[in-house]
Structure 1
Amino acid sequence: MLQTLPMCGLNVQVARWEQRTRKLSRAFGSPYLACYSLGSIILLLNILRSHCFTQAMMSQPKMEGLDSHTIYFLGLALLGWGLVFVLSSFYALGFTGTFLGDYFGILKESRVTTFPFSVLDNPMYWGSTANYLGWALMHASPTGLLLTVLVALVYVVALLFEEPFTAEIYRRKATRLHKRS
């Protein structure tokens, strides 16, 4: 699990490098193909992270205080809530919007503000965190709870870099459109 956490920052670094140099877009012959390739790698790394998370939880003892039907169903509810936010975010953003397409110059008409973004800032990250928390609670895992905190912290750090960038590129796009009209 811990070895996959640095990869969370690496995908943003690769995307920023692409934004400065456009080398991936040139190598793949298209910013879309480059973005789909990076997105596929990110998906595979997320599967690996989830697998490592589950393995770490299962290899450690359960916490008796968490091992109850009430906590299990709370975890199940969090897992369901998280899935709604992750899947609806993906639907609202599309593949390229989800997987750093803005760094490849692939922008939406404007920032997405519909559900789930109308309810929660960064619903993909917080939905994913809810999934890990729910999974940890369902398995009464103190290790899972600790790893969930670590995942949330990585997301907070990622947002420190992503949020200003996203705001700036959409501000620039709006300025360009305003100058044309």
Structure 2
Amino acid sequence: MSGSVAGPDCCGGLGNTDFSKVARWEHKTRRLSKAFGSPYLACYSLGVAILLLNVLRSHCFTQAMLSQPKMESLDNPLAYCLGLVLLGVGVVFVLSSFFALGFTGTFLGDYFGILKDARVTTFPFNVLENPMYWGSTANYLGWAIMNASPTGLLLTAVVAFIYVVAILYEEPFTAEIYRQKASRLHRRS
């Protein structure tokens, strides 16, 4: 698969940084919203593409782990339980983030002009900044530990790095979108 478009995404690239670039382009031009006839339909389409690539990334991650030797020091019941706990924590953060943000909030809806009244600050956002990214990282780390996979640990580090880049790329832009919204509301009142 390394020669296909799936190759780079197995480490998180297309599902994060590249789609943030697409979303910024949409915010600037509104071309996707015009092409799809609605910002909601355009956002849903981008969200489905991101979801599908995340499924592909997870599949590639699992295949890479299973095709490599195990790390003997991690191949024990205690490590397996630690991995299971990390996986559980990750699932809680990912799902609670999704429920707090909704589909459009999760999949860059603010770039399409689909804004919440304010940035979400309830659980899990009151516990952790970017809980979707860190929950996903915990999922990969837990899965790698459960499979005693040094390859999984390395790929988890790559995914975490890609998420850090995505956060550095997305956070200021999202903050600016909400600052502009607050400024417009303040001028109206």
2:8 match: 3
Runs of 4+ in 1 over 2 A off after TM superposition: none
1:23 match: 31
Q: In structure 1, what residue type is equivalent to 2:28?
A: R
1:114 match: 122
Q: In structure 2, what residue type is equivalent to 1:117?
A: F
Contact 2:92 2:135 (8 Å CA) reproduced: yes
Q: Which of residues 130, 155, 164 is equivalent to 2:172?
A: 164
Normalising by the residue count of structure 2, what TM-score does the alignment of the two structures yield? 0.94
Counterpart secondary structure, 1:144: helix
> CA deviation digits over 1:156-178, x for unaligned, max 9?
00011100011111111111112
Contact 2:17 2:169 (8 Å CA) reproduced: no
Following superposition, the deviation at residue 6 of structure 1 comes to 3.0
Count of residue correspondences = 181
Following superposition, the deviation at residue 2 of structure 1 comes to 4.6
Equivalent-residue separation in structure 1 for 2:182 and 2:18 (angstroms): 29
Equivalent-residue separation in structure 2 for 1:25 and 1:15 (angstroms): 11
Q: Please, which runs of 5 or more residues in structure 2 have no aligned partner?
A: 1-5
Matched, 1:66 2:74: yes
2:49 match: 41
Q: Please, which runs of 5 or more residues in structure 1 have no aligned partner?
A: none
Matched, 1:125 2:130: no
The percentage of counterpart residues that share the same residue type is 75
